[in-house]
Structure 1
Amino acid sequence: MARMPLNEIDNVTGTAADLLGQVQKGMGAVPNMAKAMVNSPATLKGYLRLSAALGGGKLDTATREQVALTVAQANECSYCLSVHTAKAPSVGLTETQVLAARRASSEDPKTDAILKLAAALVATRGAVTDEQVEAARAAGITPEEATEIVGHVALNTLTNFFNKAAQVDIDFPVVDPADL
Structure 2
Amino acid sequence: MVSTMAHSPAVLGGYLQLSRAMKRAKLSRRIGERISIAVQARQGCAACLEAHIAAAHAHGVETAEIDRAREGTSADLAIAAMIDLGLRVYREPTSITDEHVADLRGHGYSDREIADVVGIVALNLLTGAFNVLAGVKTTDG
Q: Work out which of the residue numbers 141, 146, 160 in structure 1 matches 2:109.
A: 141
Cα shift at 1:173: 4.3
Aligned: 1:160 with 2:128: yes
SS of aligned partner of 1:127: helix
Aligned: 1:129 with 2:96: yes
Which residue in the other structure is 1:69 paired with?
37
Name the CA distance, whole Å, in 2 between partners of 1:59 and 1:104. Answer: 18
1:169-180 alignment runs, 5 A limit: 169-170=137-138, 172-173=139-140
1:16-27 alignment runs, 5 A limit: none
Which residues of structure 2 form unaligned runs of 5+? Answer: none
Aligned: 1:116 with 2:84: yes
Q: Work out which of the residue numbers 50, 53, 57 in structure 2 matches 1:85.
A: 53
1:38-49 alignment runs, 5 A limit: 38-49=6-17
Name the CA distance, whole Å, in 2 between partners of 1:135 and 1:74. Answer: 24
8 Å CA contact retained: 1:72, 1:156: yes
8 Å CA contact retained: 2:48, 2:127: yes
Q: Which has the larger radius of gyration?
A: 1
Cα shift at 1:71: 1.1
1:40-59 alignment runs, 5 A limit: 40-59=8-27
Name the CA distance, whole Å, in 1 between partners of 2:129 and 2:42. Answer: 12
Aligned: 1:107 with 2:60: no
Q: Which amino acid aligns with 2:32?
A: R
Q: Which amino acid aligns with 1:62?
A: R
Cα shift at 1:75: 1.5
- Note closer, same or farther for the CA distance 1:39–1:136 as it changes in structure 2 (3 Å cut): same
8 Å CA contact retained: 1:36, 1:168: no
Cα shift at 1:48: 2.2
- Note closer, same or farther for the CA distance 1:129–1:61 as it changes in structure 2 (3 Å cut): closer
Cα shift at 1:70: 1.2
TM-score (norm 2): 0.86
| Aligned residues: CA RMSD | 1.9
Q: Which amino acid aligns with 2:31?
A: T
Name the CA distance, whole Å, in 1 between partners of 2:120 and 2:89. Answer: 11
8 Å CA contact retained: 1:74, 1:123: no
Cα shift at 1:156: 0.7
State the identity %: 33
